[in-house]
């Protein structure tokens, strides 16, 4: 179960970073709750889709699943590190709407769908794992908006780099152990 919590923490860093950027730029009522709900829901749903997609092809690639999980997690981690070194999209956002939050929630959770494949390799209940991922992302997103409001964006890129590094390390663990 600790692996699911580590995976959830790493995956939530992308949403956390975006939440910091949104909090730093906007003074919108209930923003933290809205961001948490959007990001948490999509971070819970996408690994679920990845898990079921992985189950569908699991028989075909059974001998290569560790390599696939390794590859997916390393690519996702590298992408998060790259994004952490770039400027965020939050600077271009003029107004926080539900449509914009939906777009950001989908964008930040696409990685979670690919990471959901790795749930097939863990001895965990996938439904519980997805709920844990969603709850942790909700919490980090709410905290991210609050941190962004209070301190600006200085932590934003560091969160993405940290999350990407953890995902790469998890990918290596799947390959080595």
Q: Which domain covers residue 128, as residue numbers? A: 2-23+30-176
The total domain count for the chain is 1
Q: For 50-68, write each residue's pLDDT tens digit.
A: 888 888 776 677 677 778 7
According to the model, what pLDDT value does residue 83 have?
A: 76
Instruction: Kindly state the tokens that stand for 144.
Output: 């991210």
Supply angle C-alpha 37, 14, 124, rounded to 5: 75
Q: Residues in the chain, how many?
A: 177
Torsion of CA 146, 151, 152, 156, to 10 degrees: -70
pTM of the model: 0.79
Q: For 124-170, write each residue's pLDDT tens digit.
A: 899 999 999 999 999 999 999 999 888 876 676 777 788 778 878 88
Q: For 10-51, write each residue's pLDDT tens digit.
A: 989 888 988 888 887 767 778 999 999 999 999 999 999 988
């Amino acid at each position: 179960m600790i692996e699911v919590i580590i995976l959830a923490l790493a995956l939530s860093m992308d949403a956390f970073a975006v939440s910091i950027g949104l909090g730093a730029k906007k003074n919108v009522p209930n923003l933290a709750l809205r961001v948490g709900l959007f990001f948490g829901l999509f971070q819970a749903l996408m690994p679920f889709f990845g898990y079921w997609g992985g189950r569908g092809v699991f028989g075909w690639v059974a001998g290569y699943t560790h390599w696939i999980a390794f590859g997916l997690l390393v690519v996702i981690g590298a992408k998060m590190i790259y994004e952490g070194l770039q400027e965020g999209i939050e600077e271009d956002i003029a107004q926080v709407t539900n449509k914009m939050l939906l777009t950001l929630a989908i964008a930040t959770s696409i990685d979670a769908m690919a990471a959901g494949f790795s749930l097939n390799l863990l001895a965990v209940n996938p439904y519980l794992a997805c709920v844990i991922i969603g709850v942790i992302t909700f919490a980090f997103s709410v905290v991210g908006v609050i941190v962004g409001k209070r301190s600006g964006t200085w932590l934003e890129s560091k969160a993405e780099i940290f999350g990407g590094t953890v995902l790469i390390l998890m990918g290596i663990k799947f390959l080595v152990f």
